[in-house]
Amino acid sequence: MTKHIPNFLTLCNLACGCYGVVSVFHGDLQTGAIMIWAGALFDFFDGFAARLLKKFSTIGKDLDSLADLITFCFLPSTILYALIEQNTSNTLLPYCGFLLVIFGALRLAKFNNDTRQSENFYGLPVPSSGIFVSAFPFISAVDAPKIHEILTSPMTLIGIGILLSAMMVSNIKLMSLKFKNFSIKDNWPRFVLLLVSLLLLVIFNIIALPFIIILYVVLSVIINIIE
């Protein structure tokens, strides 16, 4: 029975992605974004459960990638599509949002066949890309019209889609967030990321999410330089 727990959690991740896509299609982008966060929780716990129960399988790995493709690639793509469509009369520009799912699929295929990525990541993980995009449906709540105008402009959104797509298939070495122990010496970048992320969330709320992903990349680059 226990061998099915990790796959069940993965399917919960997939269900979040499906519900989020339907929500976006009905114009509820914020619920779509919340489903990305819910999917990220299930994505964390399915891996945690697999390690705890020692229940690993090739089916589980492939299933995880399929779920991630929907929740962290297709769902964010639909959010970008909807946001661009709301801010332009051009009928073709919104389709640029789907670069995320195209390059996300390539990223996942590379990940499943890259033996280097057991300890670290090469390229931006798709959950990070999805979480970055998830903040944008909430930007309308920011009491700064000029910032809102800049961040929701089609060119900004398309630029974000292109940048995230390039990052996903890049060879930039990024740290894994898995703790093998709780030694400060071995995990100082992870502790810094967690503490600063909490501080940013307290100060900026949901709008902090893109900055947290940027911090994750910057810390990883610093580690690469130090090592």
Residue 70 is assigned to a structural domain of this protein: yes
Average pLDDT over residues 199-214: 93
Residue 10 is assigned to a structural domain of this protein: yes
Q: Are 139 and 74 a contacting pair, CB within 8 Å?
A: no
Residue-number span of the structural domain to which 17 is assigned: 2-174
**DSSP secondary structure code for residue 205 in this structure:** G
In this model, does residue 189 exceed pLDDT 70?
Answer: yes
Please tell me the distance from the alpha carbon of residue 62 to that of residue 83, in angstroms, as a whole number.
Answer: 31
Q: Work out how many domains the chain is built from and give that number.
A: 1
Residue 204 is assigned to a structural domain of this protein: no
Summarize pLDDT for 10-28 with one digit per residue, the tens: 999 999 999 999 999 999 9
Sorted by sequence, the CB contacts under 8 Å of residue 188 that are 6+ apart come out as none
- 3-state DSSP percent of the chain in helix, strand and coil, to 5: 80, 5, 15
Q: Are 213 and 174 a contacting pair, CB within 8 Å?
A: no
At 153, which CATH number?
1.20.120.1760
Select the more confidently predicted residue: 97 or 144. Answer: 97
Residue 193 is assigned to a structural domain of this protein: no
Rg (CA), the chain: 18
Residue 223 is assigned to a structural domain of this protein: no
Q: Could you tell me the pLDDT band of residue 143, with boundaries at 50, 70 and 90?
A: low
40: how many CB neighbours lie within 10 A of its CB?
A: 20
Sorted by sequence, the CB contacts under 8 Å of residue 64 that are 6+ apart come out as 10, 13, 43, 46, 47
Query: Model-level pTM?
Result: 0.92
